[in-house]
Structure 1
């Protein structure tokens, strides 16, 4: 694996576990990478990683750093407040030079905005504190996907579908891969930062959202015409929610079944190893991909997306 220059910056919530970020730095350095920590990475103002101007400046420093990888320290909340003031040409120039912007969760807002404003590819994948900075060792699959990304070797990913989603005949579709955190995607509907993707492959995940809230957000995307314009919807992991007594059997699978009934012409697949979970793959947001399904085996293929 080729050593990379990795720039860590904070654009959303404040880093509460500085030790985790420092562990991430050490682990990335142990892999041979050069790691640069943004000067405001540990800034704090209320729940944010510094005030809006501080976090905006951090994003722009990451873009100007010349780094191979611009990696968020963590997600949380905060990027939505910055979208109108981000210098998108600066980010586009950095991507054209070879900088890979990488993250997930709140980072979805920036990814969607970059796609909408510049058409450039960013990557959904790990964050420093959550994925490289835990007290235990990083997840093997996450680490392998990250290594493929930084070495430029990754050409796709695959996973096993639930038995109920198996296809007797091989199926495939090609389109622009986009999406990320469901709450963030939904929050951008009707704004200039919502990508206008038709015929795409939309992937979604979320955390700490009860299934009825997931359904409510999907309903907004449905009634806005966004879901019906896609060639397929791929659901990742929806975690850290609790059932309540008045659910009366209503669960996440209920939502999936309901969604399929609303979209008879758009296949909905589940089980993508991506979300607020240790095992997560890296996905090129804005890249042309092929989604292929054979039996229970699903594949997202993109070749060398950067």
Structure 2
């Protein structure tokens, strides 16, 4: 009989206000044969957050307690804002010691990027930039591609994805450490010890609801901070939600990326779907990756990352 996953929910940022979606998310995980712990975090509300800073930090710090069994998978319920206020409260040394000996995979996106960066920078803990309980697994329509690729990545030591690039994209082949996430979350950590210093990296970024000029400004922030000079390529996901005003004179996200591309002197690939949005790939933060583009088709292969299939004889999930 294949072994199922023990999943623990955490709520490090905003609260889950869509009751139907959160119930659907839990029900789908249970229907796939998994065990879900920590559903009580779905009930917490404090202002716009899923509980106090202390409560939300405790969700993570319990994973450092040797007396608490580690689950196979830790899943963020939703994003929003709030993870940055937890960083001074997290037991990074305790988490590093615990994760060194046992296999446990964390997953989330959006504001969760703050924790992914901090965990990698301070504890060398990799994670998955992927779907979350409410918006993804609790959506009225479950995206089959998102579901299948997520479980494949959770349970396998390697994951692959491919997509179509722009017609004018030059061929390239690079490899390095795969990392990144939500652009504004990354920029919030510039100048702190919580932003990983990764040399020879493949940086992936996405954003939602920010104007084109804000996107360009945040990319420049990473450039001027010296982050981009250590990277080998940038993979850009969804950047939806921009509004072009009369004052912009036609300046939009395409112009912003064209302008920035000339300034950063790095290959920039667009078209991969991750982070916010419907269908999404799951990207292993901290994995070794190979990025290739040939004749307008890009492929990204990631391996050497923590995955739940390595734990307890290799659990298998329904996908």
TM-score normalised to structure 1 length: 0.94
In structure 1, the gaps of 5 or more residues are none
Q: Corresponding residue for 1:207? A: 208
Alignment correspondent of 2:121:
116
Alpha-carbon distance between aligned partners in 1 of 2:161 and 2:94, rounded to the nearest angstrom? 30
Distance in 2 of aligned mates of 1:299 and 1:161:
10
Change (3 A) 1:256 1:101: same
Q: Which residue of 2 aligns with 1:101?
A: 106
1:209-233 CA-to-partner distances (Å, cap 9, x unmatched) read: 0111101111111111211221011
Q: Which residue of 2 aligns with 1:281?
A: 281
Cα separation, 2, equivalents of 1:204 and 1:110: 15
Distance 2:25 2:88 in 1: 31
The alpha-carbon deviation at position 153 of structure 1 amounts to 5.7
CA shift for structure 1 position 48: 0.6
Superposed CA deviations along residues 273-292 of structure 1, whole A, max 9, x for unmatched, are 11211111111111111111
**Is 2:194 the counterpart of 1:190?**
no
Aligned equivalents of 2:19, 2:56: Cα separation in 1: 17
Query: Equivalent residue for 1:159?
Result: 163
Deviation at 1:166, TM superposition (A): 4.6
**Residue 290 (structure 2) pairs with residue 290 (structure 1):** yes
More relative contact order, 1 or 2 (CA 8 Å, 6+ apart) = 2
Take 1:222 and 1:240, find their aligned partners in 2: how far apart are those partners?
A: 23
Matches of 1:290 and 1:155 in 2, distance apart? 11
Aligned to 1:133: 138
Counterpart position of 1:51 = 52
Uncovered stretches (5+) of structure 2, i.e. residues with no partner: 307-319
- Superposed CA deviations along residues 239-292 of structure 1, whole A, max 9, x for unmatched, are 12222222111011111111111122x211111111211111111111111111
Alignment partner, residue 311 of structure 2: none
Q: For the Cα contact (< 8 Å) 1:238–1:275, is it kept in 2?
A: no
